[in-house]
Structure 1
Amino acid sequence: MLTLAAGASAPSVATQLVGSGLIGLREGLETGIVVMILVAFLVKSDRRDALKWVWLGVAAAVAMVAIIFVAIHFGTSTVTGLAAELISGLASLVAVVIVTAMILWMRKAAASISGHLRAGLSKALAVGPFAVASMAFFAVGREGVETALLLVGYAENTAGSIWPLVGLLLGIAVAAALTVALYFGAVRINFAAFFRYTGVFLVVVAAGILAYGVRALQIAGWLPGGSNLAFDVSAHFDTSTWYGTVLQGIFNFRPDPTVLQVVAWAVYLVVVLTLFLRPLPAKPGPERAPLPEPSNIPAS
């Protein structure tokens, strides 16, 4: 994944950039909002002296995520044959489980995350610098691990291309710029709509990663039905077309899926989208508000 695949066409490069860029934008903005809430609370509480501990925790979390990403990529790129299929399949399934749990958790937690973060940081300030840094570390690290796993699973089908990583970094850079603009009130975002639509996108991406993992485990002999194809449209599916690169590059679509792949993909989509899109139970009080913008974050 860290070298450009030979013969990568312009459409496939664009698709890889867009797909991983959207992942980076969504996860980066989610992480940026967490950091923004912590920083805004400290500034408005006149505790700027604790900002350095927040940034230390953030830096440690970023380093941890980079190590996890490199370790997983190294593990999946240094083996070949059936062992490589087995590792890729298992890594994809783990990524789907963790990403799904985080998407569904964020659906419920978005309405009250600001209050929880401020309450937690208030307690951490009373304990000391290490507690402040630890809170920032875990708050950012949780989002970062999700991003690392999602990108590894997403990029498994890119045959060594560097472009998913480039797209991710570009998405994160845009998210960082948006976070700064949000903090200073330069832009406004409907957080509820943003996380809803990007959440649906991530669920569809995760479904493709699940199908990829199922096929890898079938090739490795861990799952049955590797020769039972649901359909085969290889003769009519041109990967060089725009729709071919989009379907294959973003959603892990292949023209000859097995029956088990199709069943896993369809069941996952139906179940997870139903859970994700169902209305949240109404709760009285301000906790039902969407993620706050900086101007709406109270000092205490």
Structure 2
Amino acid sequence: MFGNYLIGLREGLEASLVVCILVAYLVKTDRREALRPVWLGIGIAVAVSLAFGAALEFGSQELTFEAQELLGGSLSIIAVGLVTWMIFWMRRTARHLKGELHGKLDAALRMGTGALVATALLAVGREGLETALFVWASVRAGGEGRSGPLIGVLLGIATALVLGWLFYRGALRINLARFFKWTGSMLVVVAAGVLAYGVHDLQEARFLGGLQDKAFDITSTIPPDSWYGTLLKGVFNFQPDPTVVQVSVWALYLIPTMLFFLAPQRGKATGRPAPAAPPKAGPEPAAKAP
């Protein structure tokens, strides 16, 4: 449940920030007539995301077991790739996201109503589709039933909406770069578990081998149906009897991804003044005649 709450919080906050920036810019520049197409684009994005999530959930139920596992494993890997890209993208663009959105909105205002709808649709729809796909994959990996993950996501989105409103009203100011760094670090851990479970799905679909080659088995120490086993699985997608391939993929993803994510970004200002350039040597004055 915590992992899904984190997904809903982070993705919801990104979408809320995008909406706040778009709406505040139109209000401050006295272009309120453009708010309607922007809200229309946001509404379409939400509807498309919900429809996508419903298609993933109900469309896969008609497939055979092997087909379900193959689809689930493939989409889990795609979801991890998208979330990893999103984490690094937000890490790189968090500081100048406002200016980037203002530029796109200015261009859309010059082009007309359709461009405004498309701008809001694409800006919010991307977050919605990523959320639907990653939550679906995380629910399959967590195996908490239907209500727990859904409640976690809804609580995360509700928290994000409240924070977005407070940002818009100017009542809340936090270091967004630091916030996205910490939540991104936790999402890398969650994504590693989803990736490992996706590989397990491909093994059960007989697309990959090694299903019987267990790396370890501590089921007797951490029973899956115990409260702490359920907690570990819900938060980290922990499995007490993973295969060798699962553990290998988990480590090969988690370690380098976390190192790259936490590494200092290049091109940051050091705060030290640049050294002054040495004065150019001019022509020496001519020697005076004695």
1:226 and 2:211 aligned: yes
Contact 2:5-2:153 at 8 Å conserved across structures: yes
Please name the residue that 2:150 is paired with: 165
Q: Which residue of 1 aligns with 2:11?
A: 27
- Map Cα deviations across residues 31-54 of structure 1 (whole Å, 9 max, x no partner): 100111111111111101101111
TM-score normalised per structure 1: 0.86
With 154-163 and 268-277 compared, the bigger mean Cα shift is at 154-163
Matched with 2:222 is 237
Task: Give a deviation string over 1:145-169, Cα, whole Å, max 9, x none.
Answer: 1111110111003264222112211
Describe the SS at the equivalent of 1:109. helix
Does the 8 A contact of 2:223 with 2:229 survive in 1?
yes
Matching of residues 78-157 of structure 1 within 5 Å: 78-157=62-141
Greater RCO (Cα-Cα under 8 Å, separation 6 or more): 1
- Contact 1:23/1:202 (CA < 8 Å) preserved in 2? yes
Q: TM-score, normalised to structure 2's length?
A: 0.88
Inter-partner Cα distance in structure 1 for 2:101 and 2:175: 20
AA at the equivalent of 1:166 = I
Identical amino acids, percent of aligned pairs: 50
1:1-300 paired onto structure 2 within 5 Å? 16=1, 18-157=2-141, 158=143, 160-283=145-268
Aligned length: 268
| Conserved 8 A contact 2:67-2:205 | yes
Higher mean alpha-carbon deviation, 71-80 vs 137-146, is at 71-80
Letter of the 2:31 partner, please give it.
R
Cα distance, 1:283 vs. partner?
4.8
Instruction: Specify the alignment match of 2:278 in structure 1.
Output: none
**Quick one: distance in 2 between partners of 1:126 and 1:283?**
34
What SS is found at the alignment partner of 2:220? helix
CA contact (8 A) 1:20 1:167 kept: yes
Q: Structure 1: any 5+ residue segments left out of the alignment?
A: 1-15, 285-300
SS at match of 1:236: coil
- Could you tell which deviates more after superposition, 173-182 or 68-77? 68-77
Q: Which runs of 5+ in 2 are unaligned?
A: 270-290
Paired amino acid for 1:152: W
TM superposition shift of 1:75: 2.8
Give the Cα–Cα distance (whole angstroms) in 2 for the partners of residues 230 and 75 of structure 1: 33
| C-alpha distance in 1 between matches for 2:145 and 2:170 | 40
Q: Tell me the secondary structure at the aligned position of residue 88 of structure 2.
A: helix
- Once the two structures are TM-superposed, the CA of residue 112 in structure 1 deviates from its matched residue by 1.6
Q: Does the CA contact (< 8 Å) of 2:91 and 2:177 recur in 1?
A: no
Task: Render the CA deviation track for 1:174-230: whole Å, top value 9, x for unaligned.
Answer: 111111111111222221111011101111111001000111111111112111110
- Is the Cα contact below 8 Å between 1:104 and 1:275 reproduced in 2? no
CA contact (8 A) 1:41 1:118 kept: yes
Letter in 1 for 2:132: A
Q: Give the Cα separation in 2 of the matches to 1:271 and 1:75.
A: 35
What RMSD, in angstroms, separates the aligned Cα atoms of the two structures? 1.4
CA contact (8 A) 2:144 2:234 kept: no
